[in-house]
Amino acid sequence: MEMPKPSDIVIAGKAAIVAMLRQVLPEDAVIDNIAETRAYECDGLAAYTCPPLAVVLPRSTEEVSAVLRVCHEAGVPVVPRGAGTSLAGGALPTADSVVLGVARLNDVLETDYDNRFIRVQSGRTNLSVTQAVEDEGFFYAPDPSSQLACAIAGNIAMNSGGAHCLKYGVTTNNLLGVTMVMMNGDVVELGGAFCDASGLDLLGLVCGSEGQLGVVTEATLRILPKPEGARPVLMGFDSAEVAGACVADIIKAGVLPVAIEFMDRPCITACENFTGAGYPICEALLIVEVEGSDPEIDHQLALIKDIAGRHNPVEMRESQSAEESAAIWLGRKSAFGAMGQMGDYICLDGTIPVSELPFVLRRIGELAKEYGLGVANVFHAGDGNMHPLILYNANKPGDLALAEGFGEDILRLCVEVGGCLTGEHGVGVEKRELMSTQFAPADLEAQMQVKDVFDPGWLLNPSKVFPLSSSASRRERTI
């Protein structure tokens, strides 16, 4: 993967830039020591690193505005950063950029249970939003696997989903409004604590924009009453293709579980060894969860098990207790960490029509043999959001490039069958050169014109999303 080159001009002026930042922020909010900035040199895509010029950690919207105004006037790029859990290089710095971390923006600002919303600062972690309202019987629906650590800011940037997005939708379906700071320091309010805003849907533009349009400092989120009950069922199959066909048939039948999660044998084994979740060791496993009252749950599971029975499962077992259900989900939420104990991997994120699951899973297996690399599959099967984990040896010369080639072929496959390059991890640096696979030149031009309006100098989150040749020419045009 081609990486951006540092700007010698800006590096030469580092001392002056840091001095200007210290004029508008408290002393402890500016980090310029090289040893300390290394903690921010990459995100979850750790194969690529680049220490930034400096790091700032503001505590308020006003401080964010001051930072952006300084950087705008100095022509310094800014990389917004949530918790650094991005798996697509969405928060990877360039050497001439200032990383703006929102981790200290973590307060709850308002809760309204009558109107079912909570307003938080954007550095608050996903799980802590639910923790703030669960005593009143509410929860925040989007639940990425990294929800213990990931920030709402990053969830908004990548339009993150999670296991339960099949029923409740992804971030954009649960986001009511934001406070956002533009690159020139202006503060704007988009949406709000109501069902629909008048005027253009600029909130829809911001959610999923990967920090290209502004820095979100506050978010108004929809909260929902907790369901009366929930129960998962484990379904084991003797092939990934059969499990994929089962998922397609469940969706086709009009049954709407709250979640359908898929794991293949390598991932099942890793998760079972890691957490002792009680998974059956088989070729493919589905976790299907439904919710409601006990009669509703029994009715839905009866329909689902009838459909699954037509695919000859090797095992089918309902959870019998809250503790067992928690163990089942702990295993799934631990999948990426469990696989990490087995070796190096690249985690992909593509989305396909559910009906194409059997074919795509079979084709991924064929590609694995062609590349001579292992692959483990774990994903949100209900909405076709796939997360193949390509296994490689980071210490073996050429293995990373081989894994990246394998990954590009999988993502092209997703587009070919009618899907898209990303479901929730974003484009970042990982998929930027593949954007032309999904979008025609006119499509990309329309997207870049939107960025022109919000960030005319192309200073926000440089070298992401758009092919480098396109973004470089855009930046040069404004200098």
Q: Which residues contact 90 (CB under 8 A, 6 or more apart)?
A: 43, 154, 157, 158, 210, 211, 425, 426, 427, 428, 429, 461, 464
Q: Are 17 and 69 in contact (CB under 8 A)?
A: no
Residues 125 and 221 in one domain: yes
Give the pairing of strands 98-101 and 350-351: unpaired
**Helices 294-309 and 240-252, interaxial angle, to 10°?**
130
Please tell me the predicted confidence (pLDDT) of residue 9.
Answer: 41
Please tell me the predicted confidence (pLDDT) of residue 6.
Answer: 43
Rounded to an integer, the average pLDDT of 221-239 is 96
Cα separation, 100 vs 79, in Å, equals 6
Quick check: 315 pLDDT over 70?
yes
Q: Is residue 63 part of a domain?
A: yes
Tell me which of 73, 103, 133 is where a domain ends.
103
Please tell me the predicted confidence (pLDDT) of residue 479.
Answer: 57
Give the pairing of strands 344-347 and 315-318: unpaired
Q: Which residues contact 91 (CB under 8 A, 6 or more apart)?
A: 43, 79, 80, 81, 82, 84, 99, 154, 211
DSSP state of 6: P
Rounded to an integer, the average pLDDT of 360-373 is 95
Neighbour count for residue 433 (Cβ, 10 Å): 16
Residues 254 and 356 in one domain: no
Q: How many domains does the chain have?
A: 5
Residues 181 and 117 in one domain: yes
Residues 115 and 213 in one domain: yes
Residues 116 and 219 in one domain: yes
Residues 291 and 185 in one domain: no
Q: Are 30 and 22 in contact (CB under 8 A)?
A: yes
Residues 266 and 190 in one domain: no
Residues 444 and 359 in one domain: no
3-state secondary structure 289-301: EEECCHHHHHHHH
The radius of gyration of the chain from alpha carbons, rounded to an integer in Å, stands at 22
Residues 246 and 306 in one domain: yes
Cα separation, 61 vs 15, in Å, equals 25
Q: Is residue 432 part of a domain?
A: no
pLDDT, one tens digit per residue, over 60-98 is: 999 999 999 999 999 999 999 999 999 999 999 999 999
Burial label for 90, CB within 10 Å (0-12, 13-18, 19+), is: buried
Q: Extract the tokens encoding 296.
A: 């509703």
Tell me which of 313, 336, 359 is where a domain ends.
336
Please tell me the predicted confidence (pLDDT) of residue 470.
Answer: 82
Q: Are 257 and 263 in contact (CB under 8 A)?
A: no
Cα separation, 158 vs 211, in Å, equals 9
Rounded to an integer, the average pLDDT of 238-249 is 93
Rounded to an integer, the average pLDDT of 449-475 is 91
Residues 349 and 458 in one domain: no
Q: Which helix (H) or strand (E) holds 351?
A: strand 350-351
Tell me which of 203, 225, 247 is where a domain ends.
225
What is the percent of the chain with per-residue pLDDT over 70, rounded to a whole number? 96
Least confident interval from 27-41, 190-204, 415-429: 190-204
Q: Is residue 456 part of a domain?
A: yes
Identify the domain containing residue 247 by its residue range.
230-336
Please tell me the predicted confidence (pLDDT) of residue 467.
Answer: 95
Please tell me the predicted confidence (pLDDT) of residue 287.
Answer: 96
Rounded to an integer, the average pLDDT of 31-55 is 95
Neighbour count for residue 111 (Cβ, 10 Å): 16
Cα separation, 210 vs 465, in Å, equals 8
Q: Is residue 221 part of a domain?
A: yes
β-pair partners for 378: 263
CA 180 vs CA 152, 224, 260: distances in Å: 13, 24, 34
